[in-house]
Amino acid sequence: MWGAQKMIKILEQTSLAVLIGLTALHSGVALGSVGESNLSEKEKLEDQELQNEYKANVKIENWQQQISQAQIKEVIQIELKDTQTGIELILKTADQSQLIPLIISEDNILIIDILDAVLRLPDGENFIVENPSEQISQITAVQTSSNSLRITVTGNGTVPAAQVIPSSENLILSLTPPINTVESEEEIEIVATREEEAAVQEFFVPNTSVATGTDTPIMDTPFSAQVVSEEVIRSQQAITLEDVLTNVSSVTFGGTTGGRETIFGIRGFGNQFSDTVPILRDGFRLYGGFQGITEVSHLQQVEVLKGPSSILYGQIEPGGVINLNSKKPLNEPFAEVEVQLGNQGLVRPRFDISGGLNPSGNLRYRLNGVYSNEASFRDFNQPLERFAYAPIVTYAITDDTDLSLAVEYINDTNPADFGLSSFGDGVAPVPRSRVINDPSDIVNKNFISAGYNLEHRFNENWKLRNAFRYMSYNYDYNVIALPTIVNGPTVTRFFADQDGQQGSYSFYTNAVGKFSTGSVKHELLAGIDYNWSEESILTLFGGPTSINVFDPDYNAIPKPNRSDLPLFGDTFTSSNRLGIYLQDQVSLLENLILVAGLRYDTITQNTNNLQTDFNQGGNTQQTDSAVTPRIGLLYRPIPEISFFSNYSQSFTPNSGIDISGNPLEPERGEGFEIGVKAELFEQQLLTTLTYFNISKNNVAVSDPVNPLFLSTIGTQQSQGIELDIVGEILPGWKIIGNYSYINAKVTEDTDPNFVDNRLFGIPYNMANLWTTYEIQSGALQGLGFGIGFNYVGDRFGDLANTYTVGDYIIGNAAIFYQRDKYRVALNLRNFTNANYVRAVSGNQTGIEPGEPFIIIGSFSVQF
């Protein structure tokens, strides 16, 4: 294992190599990088003096800053030319600009990194030549990130010598056999530092797998997908998933169902308890209450895919999916400790540690942990309290096989908050702190997840992935006063108690392969996934009690004991889900990409209702199956612009029976979108503009003959436009923002009064902006500021459109300072102290008020 001093030395040598390369190219002096050089003794001495001078005066931070500010060059051609002494490797750029190589050796391999270039070869992304000479077995050139490429020269037993030949137009590397090779006193090894791995301060993440199931550049993905990076989360001091998802267009918050679950909608769909947008954890779906308990500090990033997407994820709402990516083990030792404090009594210490567990470094770990305690701004007796930890271990069994084992545990105790109530055609005009159930109502939640992820790479083109995840979620309401009926200022509550236990077992296996048919390139994804889940719910339900929301008397009728409440419901539900899918990403041309796929799903649901004081009980079973296609096309006329369009379908099983006693047909969704993506400011800023049109059919509504039964004749439609922007405009100036216009409405219903009504909780307009600037040099280097806002238009509170909640805009700001391993920050949320509603439930209760003015301060240190 490399120590800290050696890492510093390595980084100094690395920065030195780049800067010497710059000097050599501009002065016309050939640079011998590794192996035996052809310099004279005098030239060697001068070269060593130059190295010493740079080593004494140049810091790694300056080198990194120069690289980050360098213009990205396009390598459009790579040639090999035989010489009398060996081979010349020639790299040509589109604008005949110079390339700066970083050259190192390892065993018999010569590695040449170019940190400010991208491959734009006419015949494909990568370059490979086998046995170009007797001394060299292979030369390859591949893209290693969005703005860097690597050339690898593999020698036959020994590493070849490399020299940079001066050229004003191209990069020319002379590769010759080593002569009188002398081993250096200490082998130089380049390692990925913790700054690169654990604290890459970027808003823009160029690649995502949420849209295609493969790691694909967003610019090459013919679907609308956004990624919220860890740096965005850090800069905003986001604590909840709601905080994070304000950074993505067309995402709406649907509330917490009394503190039990978290509900989100996308593009107008999924904004209610029974039909919420699915949340995934590392590709595994969080069913039911699992969605209500997410720890943001355990996440590396959050991905959002919009539109019907059953092709990869099975039964979903047509709005889209949300995927939470966990933090992974790092190669080098890393440790961070942070404490957050807030004006609502927030105390939130957390830690994040990672590193190796054995000398060889093929066994690595990461452990995140957090404790949080904060008083509610609502008039509850119970604070919001959380304890969570998440260990993960990765074992590189061989160079081609990796196994990861992960566990996560979260324990929550928080108020059972059922929000405010409606009054007339609006919200009851009471303080946002007012409680309409009971101040002593609480809900306890426990979540545990455990699983593995296994990946084997057969070669550079084919790999196989297999993963399993077990999840368990329990909640207990502990006798609450459930608000149900609203009549003016009077809210009728029922004493109730509910315990729920949920379990889920999921696995998937898929294969990813790259191949060509003539000049056409393919990336094939084929897989199978299976889930078995169960849920047991015991509900006790007692008599009514009423309060006046303007002058509540919570003690008029004392809470009964749990043992005094009659049994209302005792149900056990199990579900089996099986899906098989096939997808092909086809590069028809270098700049024309087609993605097409097909999926088959079958789902069986069993419900066992035990006899209670309120019903006779009974058993039901329902099986649904569906075939869902998807197709997308992307055209990239120039590297900075992509045009895309797609069509996709989704499905979701309905529950219940129709008037004839038959199971309801599943809901079906379909949608298309057309849009454009652009990478601006030297590929540092991504913008996406999209038009979408989505419809949902077979929506369960009351039967027109007998309203006690359901019918699947309902339809809903959502269409609109959205704009997302994320990245860096200038060095130190970062931005993430979005705007959406959504027209979501009922298009068919058995009740004609509902037709053309807007879907509840969905505003026409939403906009969010967050931008930061950090001073890059001088005495104030590391000092930064942030400013932004969140705007949400007016919404209807229920499907009948009987009442409205008003629009709102809140302002946010931050000041921070980071230097070396330390960071201190102060964030202000809703600094105008606006009074607003953040979510509605579709009923006359469950109207959730937003937070008042919030201050969060933090201090963190890395070791």
Split into its structural domains, the chain has a count of 3
CATH number at residue 254: 2.170.130.10
What is this structure's pTM?
0.79
pLDDT tens-digit series, residues 111-163: 888 888 888 887 666 788 888 887 888 898 888 777 788 898 988 877 888 88
Q: Which domain holds residue 22?
A: 4-178
Tokens of 739: 């705007």
Shared domain for 280 and 383, answered yes or no, is: no
Please state, for a pLDDT cut of 70, what percent of the chain lies above it. Answer: 86
Residue 189 lies in a domain: no
- pLDDT band at residue 710, thresholds of 50, 70 and 90? confident
Q: Choose between 809 and 35: higher pLDDT.
A: 809
Shared domain for 403 and 393, answered yes or no, is: yes
**Is residue 623 a contact partner of residue 601, using CB atoms and an 8 Å limit?**
no
CATH number at residue 661: 2.40.170.20
pLDDT tens-digit series, residues 645-668: 999 999 999 887 788 878 889 999
Residue 141 lies in a domain: yes
- 3-state SS record for 42-79: HHHHHHHHHHHHHHHHCCHHHHHHHHHHCCCEEEEEEE
Shared domain for 502 and 363, answered yes or no, is: yes
Residue 649 lies in a domain: yes
- In DSSP notation, 755-787 reads TTPBPTT--SEEEEEEEEEE--SSTTTTEEEEE
Tokens of 744: 């979501």
Shared domain for 299 and 361, answered yes or no, is: no
Max distance between CA atoms of the chain, in angstroms, equals 101
Shared domain for 616 and 764, answered yes or no, is: yes
Shared domain for 673 and 533, answered yes or no, is: yes
Q: Choose between 727 and 174: higher pLDDT.
A: 727
Q: Choose between 714 and 691: higher pLDDT.
A: 691
Residue 499 lies in a domain: yes
Question: Please, what sign has the CA dihedral across residues 21, 22, 23, 28?
Answer: positive
Between CA 437 and CA 258 the distance in angstroms is 10
Nearest one of 326, 313, 310, 301 to 245, comparing CA atoms: 301
Of the three residues 270, 290, 322, the one that is the final residue of a domain is 322
Residue with tokens 């003539």, as numbered in its chain: 518
Q: Vertex 502, ends 499 and 503: CA angle to 5°?
A: 155
Shared domain for 447 and 373, answered yes or no, is: yes
Mean pLDDT, all residues of the chain? 86
What does each C-alpha distance from 378 to 114, 254, 289, 415 come to in angstroms?
55, 18, 23, 9
**Is residue 198 a contact partner of residue 328, using CB atoms and an 8 Å limit?**
no
Q: Choose between 740 and 23: higher pLDDT.
A: 740
Please state, for a pLDDT cut of 90, what percent of the chain lies above it. Answer: 64
Residue 193 lies in a domain: no
Tokens of 551: 């002058």
Shared domain for 610 and 531, answered yes or no, is: yes
Shared domain for 315 and 371, answered yes or no, is: no
Shared domain for 145 and 276, answered yes or no, is: no
Task: Determine the 3-state secondary structure of 303 from DSSP.
Answer: strand
Task: Determine the 3-state secondary structure of 575 from DSSP.
Answer: strand
pLDDT at position 226 over 50? yes
Highest mean pLDDT among 24-38, 151-165, 400-414: 400-414
Tokens of 74: 């396009």
pLDDT tens-digit series, residues 551-579: 999 988 889 998 889 988 899 999 999 99
At what angle are helices 41-57 and 4-27 packed, to 10 degrees? 120
Residue 99 lies in a domain: yes
3-state helix, strand, coil in the chain (%, to 5): 10, 55, 35
CATH number at residue 162: 2.60.40.3500
Residue 9 lies in a domain: yes
- pLDDT band at residue 103, thresholds of 50, 70 and 90? confident
pLDDT at position 51 over 60? no
Please give the average per-residue pLDDT across 186-193, as a whole number: 36
**Is residue 204 a contact partner of residue 225, using CB atoms and an 8 Å limit?**
no
763 CB-side CA count, 13 A: 23
Residue 185 lies in a domain: no
Shared domain for 316 and 330, answered yes or no, is: no
**Is residue 390 a contact partner of residue 374, using CB atoms and an 8 Å limit?**
no
Q: How many residues does the chain have?
A: 863
Of the three residues 292, 322, 352, the one that is the final residue of a domain is 322
Residue 38's pLDDT is 45
Of the three residues 322, 344, 365, the one that is the final residue of a domain is 322
Shared domain for 624 and 746, answered yes or no, is: yes
pLDDT tens-digit series, residues 453-495: 999 999 999 999 999 999 999 999 988 999 999 999 999 999 9
